[in-house]
Structure 1
Amino acid sequence: MVRRQHRRHHRADPRLRWLLGAVPDSGPRPGGAGDGVNREALAIEAARFLNDHLTEAITVQDLADHLAWSPAHLTRTFTAVVGTSPIRYLAAQRFQAAKRLLVVEQLSVLDACHEVGFTSVGTFTRRFTSDVGLAPGQFRRAADRVSEIELGPVSLWQPGLRTRVRVRVDMSPDVALGPLPYQWVGTFPTPVPSGPPVTGTLRRGVDEVELPFHPAAPWLLVMVTPSSADIGDHLWPSAPLVARHPVPLTGCEGTVTLRPGAAEPWNHPVLVALAALYPRI
């Protein structure tokens, strides 16, 4: 449950017309396969609007009003580009902000809940736990531990899985990561890193790993942080180096090569606190 405020209607910025495909003033367009809209531009502008109104009680209808688009088409387009729905994306950004408030600002769970736009601490705690992997209080304590140790190798397997996928992490030589960067490789049920991975590894300075394939977690994601990474880089990275396999795995790939690059500001955050789960996973 999020804070309810008086609903406002947000008009589309006229400068978006060329970018999004000349939306007419007569009302929201239903959208369709042949409407010529730049889908990524539409999703980026939607994400920007959601981040600008992070703590407000924004609905899909508010977002659709702002972009002069139908809620259904907007949701489909946003989900296809970003990997999750607009409302789940908004919640993810709130949880990412809450992580820092809990650890750096040392806010209580209740205060962090209200600061990022929730009114129900129960809802906030339940969803934070599901998406981050730890309850808010546990996350704060785990962050203290992570800041004091050097992370070692982690392997997360599922018993009985015989199919393997070899993953090669191909880093650009232009990226300065230090001698032993942290390389997280994991498989998830959805295209975005929310909740703990089903299978995964943490290695340092190793560019190739082998993962068991689970059909319930076909999405392969990689995050790389420099060898000098601090607590923020590990637990609420603002500009992580990431890569996602463009389509779900089938288990027949053999070897998959991914080249991580800097996440765009509008990308879904790396929500699961992988380093804080160590050594639990």
Structure 2
Amino acid sequence: MSGEPPRNLLPHLRRARDLADRHYAEALDLAELAAAAGVSKFYFLRCFAAVYGKTPAAYLAERRIERAQDLLRATNITVTEACMLVGYSSLGSFSRKFTELVGMSPSAYLAKFSAEGAPRIPGCFVLMHGLSDRKTPPGTDPAADR
């Protein structure tokens, strides 16, 4: 096989990527993502990296940090709350990855947007109602129907 995965595998890789997009705050592992694609985890890892230009772990980390940026920009939650909401259990790991991908610490990012004075969504609303991009109406989540 060349470095390119077979074309018929692409929809299966998208299914795994969509799972990571929908459930980014959960503890997803390589085996679970590979199972969503219907292939072995090592084959999945090679094919995912060939198609998307990054490993599944790097993709998931970027998705989590993007969501954390949204939360810190639009709500009044703390950095620690954002860390937990996007699936990190360690504030240190979250801060390192955030700084690596965004170019500033989450605290500096929060301060930057707090200083702009734009109205922000109360954190209690976010915590009470959950994250809307993770919610699917009953009966519409194909992963739940399996």
Q: Normalising by structure 1, what TM-score?
A: 0.38
Q: What whole-Å deviation, never above 9, does each CA across 1:3-36 have from its counterpart, x for those lacking one?
A: xxxxxxxxxxxxxxxxxxxxxxxxxxxxx55984
The match for 2:40 among 55, 60, 70 is: 70
1:86 corresponds to 2:56: yes
Deviates more, 1:50-59 or 1:34-43: 34-43
The match for 1:61 among 23, 31, 39 is: 31
Q: Sequence identity of aligned pairs in percent?
A: 30
How many angstroms does 1:142 deviate by?
Answer: 2.5
Aligned AA (1:69): V
Q: Which runs of 4+ in 1 moved over 6 A?
A: none
- Give the secondary structure class of the aligned counterpart of 1:119: coil
How many angstroms does 1:85 deviate by?
Answer: 0.6
Instruction: Tell which structure's C-alpha radius of gyration is larger.
Output: 1
Structure showing greater relative contact order (alpha-carbon pairs closer than 8 Å, 6 or more residues apart)? 2
How many angstroms does 1:50 deviate by?
Answer: 0.8
Consecutive unaligned residues of structure 2, counting only runs of 5 or more, are: 119-146
Q: What whole-Å deviation, never above 9, does each CA across 1:83-124 have from its counterpart, x for those lacking one?
A: 111111111111001011112112101100000111100110
Q: How does 1:161-240 map to 2 (within 5 A)?
A: none
Which is helix-richer, 1 or 2?
2
| Aligned match of 2:132 | none
1:130 corresponds to 2:100: yes
* CA distance in structure 1 between the partners assigned to 2:5 and 2:63 by the alignment: 30
Which is strand-richer, 1 or 2?
1
* CA distance in structure 1 between the partners assigned to 2:9 and 2:85 by the alignment: 32
How many angstroms does 1:58 deviate by?
Answer: 0.5
| Aligned match of 2:143 | none
Aligned AA (1:83): G
How many residue pairs end up in the alignment? 117
How many angstroms does 1:61 deviate by?
Answer: 0.7
How many angstroms does 1:37 deviate by?
Answer: 4.1
| Aligned match of 2:79 | 109
* CA distance in structure 2 between the partners assigned to 1:140 and 1:36 by the alignment: 43
Alpha-carbon contact 1:118-1:124 (below 8 Å) kept: yes
Q: 1:142 to 1:73 in 2, by over 3 A?
A: same
Alpha-carbon contact 2:72-2:78 (below 8 Å) kept: yes
Q: How does 1:153-168 map to 2 (within 5 A)?
A: none
How many angstroms does 1:73 deviate by?
Answer: 1.4
* CA distance in structure 2 between the partners assigned to 1:35 and 1:104 by the alignment: 39
- Give the secondary structure class of the aligned counterpart of 1:38: helix
* CA distance in structure 1 between the partners assigned to 2:73 and 2:5 by the alignment: 46
